[in-house]
Every structure is written in structure tokens, then in C-alpha cells.
Amino acid sequence: MFLKSLLRRGTLPLLAGAALLLAGCQDEPRRLPILGERDVRANPNGGPADTIFATVPAFRAHDQNGKLLTNQSLAGQVYLTDFFFATCPGICPKMNGELLKVYQKFGQTPGLHFVSFTIDPDHDTTAVLHDYAQRLGAPAEANWRFVRTSKDSVFALARGLFTAAMPDKAAPGGFAHNGTFALVDGRGHVRGLYDSLDPKEVARLQEELPLLLAEAQESRKKS
């Protein structure tokens, strides 16, 4: 249900609005909310209940250079994701073009990674991904990984990252999907969702990304 309603336009701004309102109540440096389902478990010892937040589903993927990428290898790192396919005649060029702009601004930040998942792993082999990354202008050997994993895994991942993506014969290129960017923290919690096709949303991402990077730096200092 949640995913369906996400597909409907207007949900992202609503979420964003809610996040803004929430943030307004705090005096501390603004913290991005944790998005998604949560589970409150009673504490058997009678203390305060624990809140368990949803995390990104586990995945094993390979990037444009054949290197393995998993959620463990990204533990402790902030990352930004999107879903695309190389032959996408629809929104992908615009979406990855926007991600490229964000990359050009923030790509050099230590502890920040960019991950673009192909939703067409049958076609998008390592070689195709390599060519795509190069054509897009993403620097080689960089922290922007164009990755493929199994079909099942990538659609489960898309759901976990609040991105609508599914095979659809009627859609341009054979897949229906939207252009969501998801911002994930070092513990695998989704902290921000942005519609890449809306310049205001991309601007919001550029405002919020430093907040999460600061928080990540803070928690690295503590540990």
C-alpha cells in the first residue's frame, strides 16, 4: 500500500513537509528523520520500549569495474541511491544528469558514496555499466558505483528504498519506475527521499545532505 501511494505524485513533498515541520520543533542541529516502517518492541525488563527502524534490504552487487558492493561494505558510510537502466529512453538521463550535478558538488566528500542500481541486470552487464558510467561522465575508479545484482534482489531493494520500479511492457523501455533518490545513513536507515525530476527536491537534497554528513562525522568522532 505504502509503495502504491508513493507512486502517486505528491507523496514525496508531503513527506518532506512533515519532515520540515518535525525539524522545526527542535533546538539542536536539525537531524533528518528516519523514514519507513518502525516497530516498537516492549522491553521485557519493564524499561522504555525499543523502536526498531526498517533498514535497506541486504544485497550483493557488482559494479562497473566488477568490484563487489554489499550493504556490509557500505556500513558506516553515507550513500545516495537511484535506480536506472542503460537503455532507458524515459527519465533516466534526466535523473542521472541530476545525480551527476550532485556528484560534481559533493563527490569528493570522504565517507559519501553514490550507488546507481540497474533494474535491467539481464542487459546491463559489467561492460555495459562501464560504458554507461564513462559516457555519463562519472570519473573512473570513483565512489560512484553503477551496480547490478539479481532481478529479485534489485526489485526488493527498490521497495526498501521507496522507489517504484517494476517490469512493465507498456512503459518506455519495458520498465516502469520513478526517479527517487534515497539518502541512506551508516546504519542502513533511509533518511531522505527526493524526486530527481523536481528541481526544488534536488535543491532540498543539497541542503539536507550536509546535515547527514555532519551527523556521520559526529558519530565517527564518538566511536
Partner 1 sequence: MPRPPLIVRWLAPALAAGLALLPGCFTNKQHQGERLYAQHCAGCHGEQGQGLGTLIPPLAGSDYLAGHRAQLGCIIRQGLRGPIVVNGVRYNQQMLGVQDTATHRHLSPAQITNLLNYIEGHWGNRPGPAGPRTIAETQAQLRACGER
| Residue 97 sits in the site that holds partner 1 (CB under 8 A) | yes
Residues 171-190 that bind partner 1 (CB under 8 A): 172-173
Burial class (CB in 10 A: 0-12, 13-18, 19+), 194: buried
User: H-type helices in 126-192, by residue range?
Assistant: 126-136, 151-160
Q: C-alpha angle 165/181/155, rounded to 5°? A: 25
H helix or E strand, kind and range, residue 217: helix 199-222
Residues 92-131 that bind ligand HEC (CB under 6 A): 93
Which C-beta is closer to partner 1: that of 78 or that of 190? 190
| Residue 25 sits in the site that holds partner 1 (CB under 8 A) | no
| 108 contact, one of ligand HEC, partner 1, none, CB 5-8 Å limit per kind | none
| 197 contact, one of ligand HEC, partner 1, none, CB 5-8 Å limit per kind | partner 1
Q: Which three cell numbers mark 65?
A: 569495474
Which C-beta is closer to ligand HEC: that of 195 or that of 208? 195
| Residue 199 sits in the site that holds ligand HEC (CB under 6 A) | no
102 alpha-carbon distance from chain centroid: 13
Write the binding mask 57 to 76 for ligand HEC: x where contact by CB under 6 A, - elsewhere: --------------------
CB 192 within 8 A of CB 183: yes
Between CA 161 and CA 55 the distance in angstroms is 9
For ligand HEC, the binding residues (CB under 6 A) are 89-90, 93
For partner 1, the binding residues (CB under 8 A) are 1-2, 5, 8-11, 14, 87, 89-91, 93-94, 96-97, 100, 132, 134-137, 172-173, 197
